[in-house]
């Protein structure tokens, strides 16, 4: 295993992720990239940086043989959760740079919000290219700059104020792929062609708002830091998160926009 990278959850983090983050927004984004792949029966599919296996599970729902679906992630706790939920899918604990597959193995590769966490995104894309068949398809999503996701922009400011700069930087790292041209060049340099990048806008939706904030914090790697805060300071922080998002709260809870790049390319 290479050194760990990215968003590392532990303990109950994967359970909180499935309970709060998946229904709030990652499910709709996962459905979107699977839909854009136009999967065909019998295709062998890989979900890179699969987390709890959400994209792999959605892809498996469209195939009669879920044994052709694979997922890899560097986080052992997330892979354990993925295996518990998607029992018929092949999940591997693996670094993206050392995936345990032969050349030209998969017809379709998905990577939802993983590229920005890899220490070497270019090398990660080259490894994905290696295991993809000729004319195989890759569907990948990365968030646009954080200003296009106002809830998380406000959360970063609050984390820096009440917790620490490290926690705020960890969260903002998810939104670092703001350069459209750089993103396209990464794919081109990795050997992909027919590269098409779309800006897609969707809405976070969760009710009640307070439950989502607390649940989202539980699903974060900085949960322990917040848990160890003085109660009064933590309550003050949660109130500021609420007040700074008044424009995105309605009678049904949180309703905030998010924007992502979705890349569709071929080998």
Give the tens place of pLDDT for each residue, 33-71.
999 999 999 999 999 999 999 999 999 999 999 999 999
Instruction: Quote the pTM value.
Output: 0.92
Tokens in use for 20? Answer: 């709060």
For the chain, how many residues are written?
A: 267
pLDDT at position 227: 83
The rounded distance, in Å, linking the Cα atoms of 56 and 89 is 8
pLDDT tens figures, 78-128: 999 999 999 999 999 999 999 999 999 999 999 999 999 999 999 999 999
β-pairing verdict for 253-266 and 249-250: antiparallel
Q: What is the DSSP string of 72-114?
A: EES-HHHHHHHHHH-TTSEEEE--GGG-S--TT-EEEEEEES-
Please determine, for residue 4, whether its predicted confidence score (pLDDT) is greater than 70: no
pLDDT at position 221: 82
Q: Which helix (H) or strand (E) holds 21?
A: none
Ranges of each domain in the chain = 13-266
Please give the CATH architecture assigned to the domain spanning 13-266: 3-Layer(aba) Sandwich (3.40)
């Amino acid at each position: 295993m290479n050194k760990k990278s990215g968003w590392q959850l532990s303990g109950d983090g994967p359970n909180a992720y499935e309970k709060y983050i998946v229904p709030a927004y990652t499910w709709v984004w996962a459905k979107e990239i699977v839909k854009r792949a136009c999967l065909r029966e019998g295709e062998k599919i890989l979900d890179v940086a699969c987390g709890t296996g959400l994209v792999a599970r959605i892809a498996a729902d469209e195939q009669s043989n879920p044994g052709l679906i694979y997922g890899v992630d560097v986080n052992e706790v997330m892979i354990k959760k993925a295996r518990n939920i998607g029992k018929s899918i092949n999940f591997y604990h693996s670094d993206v740079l050392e995936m345990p597959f032969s050349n030209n193995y998969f017809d379709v590769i998905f990577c939802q919000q993983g590229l920005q966490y890899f220490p070497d995104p270019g090398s990660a894309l080259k490894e994905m290219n290696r295991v993809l068949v000729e004319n195989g398809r890759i569907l990948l999503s990365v968030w646009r700059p954080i200003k296009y996701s106002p809830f998380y922009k406000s959360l970063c400011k609050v984390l820096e104020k009440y917790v620490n700069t490290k926690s705020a930087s960890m969260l903002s790292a998810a939104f670092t792929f703001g350069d459209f041209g750089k993103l396209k060049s990464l794919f081109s340099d990795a050997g992909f062609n027919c590269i098409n990048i779309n800006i897609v806008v969707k809405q976070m939706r969760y009710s009640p708002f307070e439950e989502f904030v607390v649940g989202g914090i539980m699903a974060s790697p900085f949960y322990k830091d917040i848990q160890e805060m003085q109660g009064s300071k933590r309550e003050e922080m949660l109130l500021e998160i609420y007040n700074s998002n008044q424009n995105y709260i309605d009678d049904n809870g949180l309703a905030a926009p998010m924007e992502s790049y979705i890349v569709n390319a071929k080998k």
